[in-house]
Amino acid sequence: MGVQEGARGQVTVEALAKRFGPVKAIDNVSLRVGAGEFLALLGPSGSGKTTILMAIAGFEYPDEGRILIGGEDVTWAPPNRRNLGMVFQRYTLFPHMSVLENIAFPLKMRRIGRTEREERARAALETVRLGGMGDRRPSQLSGGQQQRVAIARAIVYQPRVLLMDEPLSALDKNLREEMQLEIKHLQQRIGITVVFVTHDQTEALTMADRVAVLDHGRLQQIGAPRDLYETPETVFVAGFIGETNFCEGRLDHSAAAGEPVFVGLDGGGQMSAIAAQALPAGGRIKVALRPERLRVLPTGDGPAARVTEAIYAGNATTLMLEAEGGQRLRARIPAGGGLHEARPGDHVRLSWQTADARAFAA
């Protein structure tokens, strides 16, 4: 199970569309996954992420577009002809078989001899760090161990690509976070291409090399986790990835993408930001600003606000603010940073870096 070579693990989705009655589950989606890359498909329920995964796997056929794996057009090929590994939400391990027999089962279906399939199954067990547990039944393993067995079964026949459909959703928080790193390290070790579906933004940002954000069947943005968080290209991505304050107003002049602007806020006052896209003069504008980028000062020249609530969470305190003009904002003050921590009822001034605020057409 060495690192894949060349284009063997590349996945290309071209202008994919899929309808279920009047509903467009996938609406003209194109993306490319490089060999050995970890791509997360992220979005809320109904965004089309699982339908895209099922189309890549061959369990759904598109109405339009095509799918290539390793440069080969597999749009209409059945699942068993695509040489893909699949890990579902439920691990579907056979309870009457041992762990080793579960892992070797796909090789048995491929008519691999007993000696070779046992050797490969034991090697897969070692890869997922469960060596020595081959004689146990699935019921004797923890949830995290069962998930590793499901992964070992999916990679034992050396698939071109590993597809994962929310495989961590059934685990508790601590185990889920542990398995996020386990899967990422495993993927890096064996060099396999992974397409991973999740609705959990933290999971996607933690695990993936790139994240494709979807909403109502449309691809909103695809990029590295840092790019999605720091420079979202749409209002949806700004609001879906992490926490964001949105302030609304108007722009009295047009601006090109990347230009600094001053937005006249509803209720009075101005807000400096960077235009995330071309903005028309006089148009409605939404400005996005992360809570941790909003500074709260006892005095200053910035907009005035009143602290309405302070929520302590150990590593940070979240301040709920009512700014002049009625804008409601959140600011996050990290613990131990020596920063001013206001109390409910305090009157404060707000400050931020223009580069940290993004302006979108509303």
Contact, 1 vs 127, CB < 8 A? Answer: yes
Instruction: Say whether pLDDT at 7 is over 80.
Output: no
Measure Cα distances from 213 to 56, 183, 210, 242, 322 in Å.
Answer: 17, 21, 10, 13, 31
Average pLDDT of the residues in 110-128: 90
Q: How many CB atoms lie within 10 A of CB 356?
A: 17
Alpha carbons 203 and 252: distance in angstroms, whole number: 40
Residue 70 has pLDDT above 80, yes or no: yes
Check residue 6 and give its pLDDT. Answer: 53
Report how far residue 346's alpha carbon sits from residue 333's, in angstroms, rounded to the nearest whole number: 15
Contact by Cβ (8 Å): 242, 290: yes
Answer whether 187's CB lies under 8 Å from 151's CB.
Answer: no
Q: Which class is domain 11-230?
A: alpha beta
Asked if the model's pLDDT at residue 336 lies above 90, the reply is no
Q: Is 340 left (phi over 0), alpha (psi -120 to 50) or beta?
A: beta
Where are the chain's structural domains?
A: 11-230, 245-361
Helix (H) or strand (E) holding 320: strand 316-323
Q: What is the pLDDT of residues 205-247, one digit of tens each?
A: 999 999 999 999 999 999 999 999 999 999 999 999 999 999 9
Mean pLDDT of 73-91: 90
Is 181:213 a contact under the CB 8 Å cutoff?
A: no
For residues 331-345, give the mean pLDDT: 83
Instruction: Say how far apart CA 207 and CA 186 lie, in whole Å.
Output: 11
Which candidate, 62, 21, 11, 71, places its Cα nearest to that of 41?
A: 11
pLDDT at res. 1: 41
Checking if the pLDDT of 332 tops 90, the result is yes
Q: Which residues pair with 311 in a beta bridge?
A: 318
> What is d(CA 292, CA 305) in angstroms, rounded to the nearest whole number?
16
Residue for token pair 């046992």: 118
CA-based radius of gyration for the chain = 25
Matching CATH number, 245-361, of 3.30.365.10, 2.40.50.140, 2.40.170.20, 3.40.50.720: 2.40.50.140
The helix/strand/coil state of 11 is: strand
Report residue 280 as tokens: 């028309």
| Mean pLDDT score of the chain | 91
According to the model, what pLDDT value does residue 302 have?
A: 85
Q: What is the DSSP string of 216-265?
A: TTEEEEEE-HHHHHHS-SSHHHHHHSS--EEEEEE-SS-B-TT-EEEEEE
pLDDT at 98: 94
Residues 6+ apart with CB under 8 A from 132: none
Q: What is the mean pLDDT of residues 61-86?
A: 95
